[in-house]
Amino acid sequence: MPAAVVEYKGWKEGRGCGYCGSERGKVSAGMWAHSMTVQDYQDLIDRGWRRSGKYVYKPIMNQTCCPQYTIRCQALHFQASKSHKKVLKKMLKFLSKGDVSKVASEEEPMDSHIEDAVACDFPYKSESQVSQSELTPLGVDHTESVQNEDKDSGETKEEVNVQKVESDSLQTCAAKDTPVPGEPSHSAKVVHAPPKPGKGADLSKPLCRKAKDIRKERKLQKLLQNQKCTLEGSQLPGGDQAFLLQNSKPKTNQPKTIEDFVLVSLPDDARHKLEVRLVPVSFEDPQFKSSFNQSATLFAKYQMSVHKDTPSDCGENEFTRFLCDSPLEAEHAPNGPECGYGSFHQQYWLDGKIIAVGVIDILPYCVSSVYLYYDPDFSFLSLGVYSALREIAFTRQLHEKAPDLCFYYMGFYIHSCPKMRYKGQYRPSDLLCPETYVWTPIEQCLPLLENSKYSRFNQDGKAVDEGRLKELGRVRVLHKRTVMPYSVYKKRRKGPSDEANVQQYASLVGQTCSERMLLFRS
């Protein structure tokens, strides 16, 4: 398997922040990834890294003005909220009947997948002047052998079942002022007097019942009657009788899943047809190549309309560099999804035309959302919410073939920026502790973030980063087309020491990735 090759760019401080408006408050570290395996990137995002094109960056959490916490949704246990279901129903109504009614409360303040990766990081996106031959390792220096230790990269997955109990309000009906036969006089007994019309329910009469409950009771009585006749006609074993009686009990209504909405069959006379296509990000793929121009045009329309970019800011070169170039090497595994791992575009085709594209990475443990752009003419469909729900459903679909793939990563959660808190509405979800890199249920994190925009979520004061750098000498380096451990490179290097730079890089990526990826040194 080819190893990842990265060039570490160091820290960048004093940059403008698009979240709080600070002109010089943003601090992050970054590296240019010439190539990267999906397992490398999975391990990196589990340490707070994200990619923008081939540029991979990590906010310096305790120094940046707006700390950005990696957030993941437990897709297998996700339950759509009422507002999520409204968006799904709205799409169904549009497809079946052409209904374009708008509900203001369903719109998010901004699209679901916008990342801190557009204008501010573009200066890094130019390929370095390193020739490809220099990046291709030709030999491995065994002067000082380094044994790779197989470590368990799987996180402890705490399953948090968030059950939403929605209680129906008690319904009563008011009755008219009619005398009740046999009721004693008010002089003999104090009773609740019937209220005047419009003043409330008549407490002397039974509560009105829902028609649905009445139908359930009648159905249950009929079922019990039929079973009684069956039992009288033939003596069934006790276990069978118990089974029949158990099945006679009314079952509570199960909440509808995303799949109940997106997989429903539309009527034959449906006004519109929506098709979601998964296309590998590769110019060698026929579907990607044939739809490139339409996709790039849609990107420019979206950027100019929503983010107010100029045409020069969102041309084909910018589109390719930002959303088509990916360092991830496509990979197929026997126990992996049929589509394989790597970078993909999920294209939403409405009546033969692309109206939205979700850029995603399919990794060993998750589907990672990179970006979403859509046709502003269809913003009434809440495509940011809709695409996020479709991607959660897609994650669950992939899980059937790839059991380890069960999370949906939504990028960064920024509590200090109110308009970016909507990602926390996809429950159950976890935030990544910025110090120990363990996942913590978001319900436990929110009180901490209310008190301080930077917080350590792991409440065990003795806990440390288990993946921290332990041996700098074992960091793998690519130098003069030869792979070697840093301890060997350090002895051969001429000129000023670069140990502080390598130490910073290895501390941020962790011991496992630093031993697996190749750090390019000129």
Whether 2 is covered by a domain: the verdict is no
Q: What is the structure's pLDDT at 127? A: 54
How many domains does one find in the chain? 1
* Least confident stretch, 79-83, 139-143, 413-417: 139-143
**Alpha-carbon gap, residue 130 to 35, rounded angstroms:** 14
Whether 277 is covered by a domain: the verdict is yes
Please give the structure tokens belonging to residue 261: 């909405």
Q: What is the structure's pLDDT at 101? A: 73
Q: What is the structure's pLDDT at 164? A: 35
Whether 451 is covered by a domain: the verdict is no
Whose CA is closest to 135, among 242, 7, 222, 23? 7
203 has a pLDDT exceeding 90: no
**Alpha-carbon gap, residue 39 to 442, rounded angstroms:** 25
Whether 220 is covered by a domain: the verdict is no
**Contact status, residue 41 vs residue 18, Cβ threshold 8 Å:** no
Confidence of residue 140 (pLDDT cuts 50, 70, 90): confident
90 or 162, which is more confident = 90
399: domain CATH number is 3.40.630.30
Burial readout 117-136 (b: 16 or more C-beta within 10 A, e: otherwise): bbebbbebbeeeeeeeebbe
Q: What is the structure's pLDDT at 154? A: 36
* Least confident stretch, 187-191, 260-264, 510-514: 187-191
Confidence of residue 486 (pLDDT cuts 50, 70, 90): very high
User: Quick check: bond before 428 cis, omega within 30?
Assistant: yes
Please give the structure tokens belonging to residue 521: 């040194």
Q: What is the structure's pLDDT at 414? A: 98
Residue 387 Cα distances to 35, 293, 358, 408, angstroms: 28, 22, 7, 12
What digits encode the pLDDT tens for the residues 32-54? Answer: 999 999 999 999 999 999 999 99
What digits encode the pLDDT tens for the residues 296-319? Answer: 999 999 999 999 999 999 999 999
437 has a pLDDT exceeding 70: yes
Q: What is the structure's pLDDT at 141? A: 67
Phi, psi dihedrals of residue 519, rounded to the nearest 5°: -90, 115
**Alpha-carbon gap, residue 410 to 426, rounded angstroms:** 9
Residue 249: alpha-carbon gap to chain centroid: 38
Burial readout 217-243 (b: 16 or more C-beta within 10 A, e: otherwise): eeeeeebeeebeeeeeeeeeeeeeeee
455 has a pLDDT exceeding 80: yes
254 has a pLDDT exceeding 70: yes
**Alpha-carbon gap, residue 428 to 489, rounded angstroms:** 46
Whether 367 is covered by a domain: the verdict is yes
403: left (phi over 0), alpha (psi -120 to 50) or beta: alpha
Residue 11: alpha-carbon gap to chain centroid: 27
349 has a pLDDT exceeding 60: yes
479 or 185, which is more confident = 479
Q: What is the structure's pLDDT at 208? A: 64
Sequence-ordered strand ranges (E) for 219-341: 274-280
Question: Average pLDDT, stretch 244-265?
Answer: 73
Share of the chain above pLDDT 90, in %: 68
Confidence of residue 476 (pLDDT cuts 50, 70, 90): very high
Q: What is the structure's pLDDT at 379? A: 96
Q: What is the structure's pLDDT at 93? A: 96
Q: What is the structure's pLDDT at 138? A: 76
Whether the full predicted model's pTM is greater than 0.85, yes or no, is no
Q: What is the structure's pLDDT at 189? A: 40
Confidence of residue 405 (pLDDT cuts 50, 70, 90): very high
* DSSP code, position 324: I
Q: 162: helix, coil or strand? A: coil
Residue 450 Cα distances to 25, 414, 435, 453, angstroms: 20, 12, 18, 7
Whether 286 is covered by a domain: the verdict is yes
Helix axis angle for 211-233 and 238-248, nearest 10°, is: 160
Please give the structure tokens belonging to residue 324: 């088509």
- Kind and range of the H or E element at 222? helix 211-233
Cβ-Cβ contacts under 8 Å for 275 (sequence gap 6 or more): 348, 349
**Alpha-carbon gap, residue 60 to 64, rounded angstroms:** 6
What digits encode the pLDDT tens for the residues 64-74? Answer: 999 999 999 99
CA atoms within 13 A on the CB side of 499: 10
Question: Average pLDDT, stretch 121-144?
Answer: 62
Work out whether the CA dihedral 262, 268, 274, 279 comes out positive or negative.
positive
What digits encode the pLDDT tens for the residues 371-401? Answer: 999 999 999 999 999 999 999 999 999 999 9
* Least confident stretch, 1-5, 9-13, 114-118, 216-220: 114-118
* Beta strands 353-362 and 342-350, pairing class: antiparallel
Per the structure, the complete domain to which residue 423 belongs is given by: 67-104+257-432
Q: 53: helix, coil or strand? A: coil
Please give the structure tokens belonging to residue 243: 């089974």
Whether 110 is covered by a domain: the verdict is no
Average pLDDT, the chain: 83
**Alpha-carbon gap, residue 446 to 448, rounded angstroms:** 5
